[in-house]
Amino acid sequence: MQVWAVFYHPTLFTEDLYQRALGVIDVLDPEASARIRRFYRREDACRTLIGHLLRRLMLLEKGVDPGAMKFAITEAGKPYIVSPNLDPPLGFNITHDNALVAMAFSSRTQNPPAFSVGIDVMRLHIPGKESFPSFVHTMGDQLTAREHCLIFSAASSGENLQRFFWIWTMKEAYTKALGVGLGFDFKRLEFDVEDRILRADGEVPVGWHFRMFVLRDEEDVYEGVVAEFLGDGRTDIVCQNEPGEWLKQYDAVSFVEQAILRLSAH
């Protein structure tokens, strides 16, 4: 399993770069290009554009010609690779929050066609001027009593915040890996952030592997979780705080320039 993380800052992402990147998508996938152009906010269009380039550059590194890359979505809205037929098959999932766009992909996951891999990232902050208790209260119907206790029993306000976002990103990553879409009752899941145990409907899901990670963008801190189903009879949750071979970090400008160059060369 690998994660590619791209930090996008609108002030550094020029109109020329946006148009050149969009021109590449125009050639490879006119329908996707048209959807990107329909976004009202340029920031949303750029994040979606980066997501398209992420999955295409990933396949290019697997030796796939850009013209052969085709994608579809499940009924629940999860994208997957239609062609070519890769051996071994490859699953991926893309997420974004604020400045971060991230993709997880794995050739070990089970359950075609979208395969059971999911990722979620969130910046550690409270929106607006809302207090932390009020913020958690707005999400209260998606948290169990045990999770509420764990969040508010932490030693400091900073740890409270960390615990909340670990719980939330764990639930998001797991349900994205399941491919169930919106509407899943998060109270069916409980993440014991102290003991690192996830339960679904009261049982530990077997055959799942989870990685918790932290990324920093200047003063901002992001927490993320990747979930993948390997079906190997064991479950583990590990925390890895430093980028490495499995976790690569890019800035959007250099990443998109590289994607334009490499995808246009084929």
Indicate which CATH number applies to the domain containing 239.
3.90.470.20
Distance of alpha carbon 13 from alpha carbon 254, whole angstroms: 10
Residue with tokens 């992001």: 222
Domain count along the chain:
1
Which of the four pLDDT bands, split at 50, 70 and 90, describes residue 243?
A: low
Segments forming the whole domain that contains residue 137 = 2-264
Which of the four pLDDT bands, split at 50, 70 and 90, describes residue 18?
A: very high
Handedness of CA 127, 217, 243, 20 (dihedral sign): positive
- Parallel, antiparallel, or unpaired for β 117-123 and 220-229? antiparallel
pLDDT for residue 241 is more than 80: no
Distance of alpha carbon 116 from alpha carbon 106, whole angstroms: 9
Percentage of the residues of the chain whose pLDDT score is greater than 70: 99
Between these two residues, 131 and 213, which has the higher pLDDT value?
213
Where is average pLDDT lowest: 57-61, 78-82, 140-144? 140-144
CA distances from 9 to 16, 65, 86, 122, 124 (A): 15, 30, 34, 16, 17
Q: Give residue-wise pLDDT tens across range 53-76.
A: 999 999 999 999 999 999 999 988
Rounded average pLDDT over 157-178: 94
Rounded average pLDDT over 91-99: 96
Q: Are 44 and 83 in contact (CB under 8 A)?
A: no
- Parallel, antiparallel, or unpaired for β 236-240 and 208-217? parallel
Which of the four pLDDT bands, split at 50, 70 and 90, describes residue 148?
A: very high
pLDDT for residue 79 is more than 90: yes
